Structure 1
Amino acid sequence: MYHVHHGDCIPHMLEYMPPASVDFSVFSPPFPSLFAYTSKAEDIGNSEDMRGEAKIHLGYFFRGLRRVLKPGRAAVVHVMQIPRLKRSGEVGLHDYRGLNIRLGERAGLIYEYDWVVRKNPQAQAIRTRSRELQFAGLESDRAKQRGCLPDYLIKFRAPGDNAVAIDSDGDVSRNEWIDWAECCWSDIRETNTLNVKEARSEEDTKHICPLQLDVIDRLVRLYSNPGEIVFSPFTGIGSEGYVSLQRGRRFYGCELKHEYHRQALKNLAGAQRKHEADSRTLFDTEAVA
C-alpha cells in the first residue's frame, strides 16, 4: 500500500498529515545550490544562500517532520557537505551536515548518531571535476587539495517512548549487525539506484542523485517492522518507497516535481507487484491454476 502526495511537503506535514502518523522516515533532502530539480520557489535546491533561504526552508521542514513522527521512532537524513564556490567567497565547504543536525535539534528531535558512507575518490573527481581531487592540483599546488566527500546518514529520534518495539524476526541477523554497526559503511554500491532517465526534463540543469538502494534497505530493516509506514518527504522517483514495499512495509511520500511524481508512481506500482508475486505461496499458485 502506498500514496505519494504531489506538492510541497512542508505545508503538507504541518497542516494536513495526522500528527504522530509515521513509523519511520528516510530521505535525502535537496542540496541547496548544488542539485536543482525545478524552477519553483518551494524547491530547496534553488536556495543559493545557505544561511538564509535554505535555513528558513529547513527550519519549517524539521518542525513538520517532528510533528508527524511517532514518539520514540527514528528518522534518517542522507546528506553530504556542499562545496562552496568562488562566487560565495573563498572556495571551501558549507557544513550542510551540521545545519541539518542543528535545525533538527531545534525542532525537538534528538540527534543520536551518523554513519559515514564511503565514496570512490577517483569516480568523484571525474564526475565533479573538482580540482581539489584531481592530479592537476596535486602536481601544481597541494595547498587546496582535500579528500573526497562522503555521504552522512544522520539519525534522529522523536522524543518519548516507543509504543511498538522494532523486533521483527529475520529482518536483521547478528552477523549483519556486526557489519552495520561499523561507523563507516564501505560496501555500499554507488551505482545501485533506480533508473532516472525517464524522469528527466528540460528543467534539470544539475545532477539527479537518487539514494542508493543498499542504504535504504538496511535502514528500513533496522528501524521499522513489516506493515508499518515508511515516509519520504522528498520522494523523487520513489527509491525509499520501492525498497519499503518490497520489504513488506507501507509507504507515504511527497514530491514537488511532476515528472518525478509520475515516475515514482510507476516505480512503486512495479515494487508492489513484485512483492505480491514474491509473497505468493504454493497454495496461492495452485488456487490460481
Structure 2
Amino acid sequence: MEYINEKEKIAVYNTDCVELAKSLDDESIDFSVYSPPFANLYTYSDNLADMGNCANDEEFFNQYKYLIKEKFRITRNGRLTAIHCKDLPKYKNRDGAGGLNDFAGAIIRAHEECGWTYHSRITIWKDPVIEMQRTKNQGLLYKQVCKDSAYSRQGMADYIIVMRKCVYENNVPIAREGKERFYDYIGSSYLAPKLDKGALVRDKEETERLYSIEVWQRYASPVWFDIQQTNVLNTALAKDGKDEKHICPLQLDVIERCIELWSNEGEIVFSPFMGIGSEGYQAVLQNRGFVGSELKEGYFDIAVANIKEALERKRSILDMPF
C-alpha cells in the first residue's frame, strides 16, 4: 500500500524501510529524523523484516547497517540525520547482570562505520518519578537508596544522536529569509523566553534579534529540559492486540525543533520507521515534503490518517483571515 500526494511532496509506503531506501535517488533526502527499533527490547510485529525481531544487539545492528548505508547515499551532501534513542536495560536472567546498555553509543559507531560523522548529542530530560511509577525499577525506589544505595541509579534520559554526511560541504544553506533565525519558540510554554511586547513596539529589529538569540541559547543547550512529554500523537487506535506489544511515539516538540533547525521549507524529510506518522505529521505542518515507510499495516493506516489531518490543519490555517 502507499499514499502519494505529489502536490505536497508526500510519499509514504507500507513496506520495508531498506527496500524503500534502495529505491530512492542519490541525495534526494534533505534531512531524516526517526526512532529506530530499540534492538530486541520491544517487538512491534511478527513480520520477519521487522528489525525488532532479533535475538540480540549484534543481529539488530547487522540489519540496521543496511539502512544506514542507504541513508548515507540518499542524503544530500553536508546534511544531517537525527536518531532518537535511549539506554537499554540489561537483565540478570537474560544478560547475566542487571545494568544498562549504551545503545546511543552503538548507534554512533554503526553510523561512523558507514561513513557518517558524529555531529551532536542532545539529552532530553525525563522525569525519574514517572519512570519509577511506570517501571517500579529497584534502582529508582526511595526505599532502596535508604537500604543500600549501591543499587540506586538515575532515571533514563532520551537522546537525539545527530550524524552528518561530510563527503562535501553543504551547498544549500539552512536559513530563514530575513535577518533573524527564530521568530517563535518550540517547547513548554512554562519555560519559553518572553518576547518583550513594549520593546517590540519601540525597536522591532533589536527586540526580534535578542529574542532569536535567546531561543537559540535554549536550543543550543546539550540538555533539553523543556520538552512536553505528553505532546505525542494519539496512540490508542494503533494497538490491535494481536502482535503489538509497545509503541513509543516521539514527542512532536522534538520533531518540530529538529526539522526547524536542520531543514528548509520545501525540503524533503525522511522517516524509515514511520510508526503512526509523527514525523510526517510535523513535516507537513512545517511546510516540508515527507517520505516515509512503515512495515506494520495497522500503523501505516493511522499514519496516513494523521498526515491527512495535518494537511487539513495546514489548509485551515492558510484559509484563516488575517
Q: TM-score, normalised by structure 2?
A: 0.84
Match of 2:296 in 1: 257
Letter of the 1:80 counterpart: K
Could you tell me how far 1:32 is from its partner in structure 2?
A: 1.6
Matched, 1:228 2:275: no
Could you tell me how far 1:56 is from its partner in structure 2?
A: 0.4
- Aligned to 2:52, the other structure's residue is in SS state helix
Q: Summarize the Cα distance change of 1:154–1:99 in structure 2 as closer, same or farther, 3 Å threshold.
A: same
Matched, 1:10 2:49: no
Rounded to whole Å, the distance in 1 between the matches of 2:226 and 2:316 is: 29
Could you tell me how far 1:171 is from its partner in structure 2?
A: 5.8
Equivalences for 1:141-160 in 2 at 5 Å? 141-159=148-166, 160=168
- Aligned to 1:103, the other structure's residue is in SS state helix
Structure 1: give runs of 5+ residues left out of the alignment: 284-289
Rounded to whole Å, the distance in 1 between the matches of 2:100 and 2:272 is: 26
Match of 2:315 in 1: 276
Rounded to whole Å, the distance in 2 between the matches of 1:144 and 1:227 is: 50
Matched, 1:72 2:111: no
Q: Which has the larger radius of gyration?
A: 2
- Find 1:29's aligned residue among 22, 27, 36: 36
Match of 2:208 in 1: none
Letter of the 1:37 counterpart: Y
Letter of the 1:242 counterpart: Y
Q: Summarize the Cα distance change of 1:204–1:122 in structure 2 as closer, same or farther, 3 Å threshold.
A: farther
Q: What's the Cα RMSD here?
A: 1.5
Match of 1:286 in 2: none
Contact 1:4 1:252 in 2 (8 A): yes
Letter of the 1:202 counterpart: G
Matched, 1:168 2:176: yes
- Aligned to 2:260, the other structure's residue is in SS state helix
- Aligned to 2:139, the other structure's residue is in SS state coil
Rounded to whole Å, the distance in 2 between the matches of 1:45 and 1:276 is: 37
- Aligned to 1:125, the other structure's residue is in SS state helix
Equivalences for 1:175-214 in 2 at 5 Å? 175-214=214-253
Letter of the 1:123 counterpart: I
Structure 2: give runs of 5+ residues left out of the alignment: 1-7, 183-211
Contact 1:171 1:221 in 2 (8 A): no
In terms of mean alpha carbon deviation, does 153-162 or 234-243 score higher?
153-162
Match of 2:65 in 1: 59
Q: Summarize the Cα distance change of 1:174–1:279 in structure 2 as closer, same or farther, 3 Å threshold.
A: farther
Rounded to whole Å, the distance in 1 between the matches of 2:140 and 2:157 is: 13
In terms of mean alpha carbon deviation, does 37-46 or 265-274 score higher?
37-46
Could you tell me how far 1:275 is from its partner in structure 2?
A: 0.8
Letter of the 1:194 counterpart: L
Contact 2:40 2:60 in 1 (8 A): no
Question: Alignment length, in residue pairs?
Answer: 281
Could you tell me how far 1:168 is from its partner in structure 2?
A: 1.6
Could you tell me how far 1:232 is from its partner in structure 2?
A: 0.6
1:185-210 deviations in whole A, cap 9, x for unaligned? 00101111000111111235532100
Contact 1:228 1:250 in 2 (8 A): yes
Match of 1:116 in 2: 123
Letter of the 1:213 counterpart: L
Rounded to whole Å, the distance in 2 between the matches of 1:138 and 1:33 is: 30
Contact 1:37 1:203 in 2 (8 A): no
Matched, 1:38 2:45: yes
